[in-house]
Structure 1
């Protein structure tokens, strides 16, 4: 398993500015930019004031607030320790967060429609190109140089279409809204084959079986993670230990690429690990 200590990763300004300023990113893991089906982005995001209009994407994402709550819908704030799944093709927003400091783990990846994922580095040039053509971005919307000012389009959509040269066709939403999970309300279920681990299975999403769960490894215990075809991403919520000789502690992030396995050992306080399995889109 590849491990990154989030607290040691430097902050950087977000590359895309179509949603405005106020965001800082610590890049944890990225996929293959040459292969949209196997591309993804794992980032520790900080924000002080943020606004985004009602919009939707042609990719999936998870948000996990680590410090402070984040607004998702007019009647939904996602609190610390909750997990929000944003299905492709499903609207959310407006997001309107005040000046208080927040930190959020964000995972973005291609969804079951197989439209893949384009990262911020790929799209940055397209955003600059739209500005050079005389367009402008305002509160997350794009206004073309000759556009009717009352009919802007979503900023991300404009950038994506500029980059690809295609019209974005949103997949039909598989869910009626975002899915907000409250892990604290789940109970751990003992693993039948290993008495030192237990699981909170938070959800399995779409026909491509995107998965989210929390795994607990008790002090002195171990967890053998088998190989599988999917990319898997891990976030240590609490506890301490190691994986394949690398330190694990609160806010450690890990990644297993397809075909890889690992062994997690809990050497201190019980480890609680948020785990994701990305969909396999070529099968």
Structure 2
């Protein structure tokens, strides 16, 4: 008498099921064992990418890398959205009247500190033209500018106001990066808005204001590298805007006619403006001058 088909298949089916379970468990164990190695591999790649950005304000060490990764958790998510201009801000308008739109797409920007431009970089002749134009601003005494090592970067050369009236790192106006031709600078919010909306730059990821001013000013901007002579001239206009904002002086490379503008010193801050000021609310301003209030807003 023939045995039922089901009774013949049962032992084979049980063996297959057991084998399948064993293979599944083995695969899961291998995956769990491999995950730490894969995570370490990704971490190594990310650390190498951090070091490849070159020297900057943060040491290229594991500790510096850890600091940047922690700061990235609270960094700006949309660096192409201009910061609003508070109603108590004085002056409400900036230095720049208009800017033409930048031709082409925005370049790829990576990093926080250092922050670098990965493509559409300046050629060596263009960068030399830019750095020469920046240095020329320091040759005219009335511009009240000097060239020193960047307070932010600790490596590249920067322009500094001799008598700054807007608080930045040591009175730094701007600095350029030899590796790509891009610049960092502090601008009036209205000028920063014009720069961002016309595609010439973006906000620094840490430029959020408040307690994060210990890293960079709220008005800290990255300006994209000029690609040709015409763009060098335009970028230099933005540099002059930064000099005006930090020093209160209208600078000029050709004439050297620096004009001191008391744009902040003589403006009274009323009670309503003080109530809107981050620094005044915490009794940090200790002054009725708008330049101090702006420094903490």
Pick the TM interval, shorter chain.
under 0.3
Whose strand fraction is larger, Structure 1's or Structure 2's?
Answer: 1
Whose helix fraction is larger, Structure 1's or Structure 2's?
Answer: 2
TM-score by length of 2: 0.26
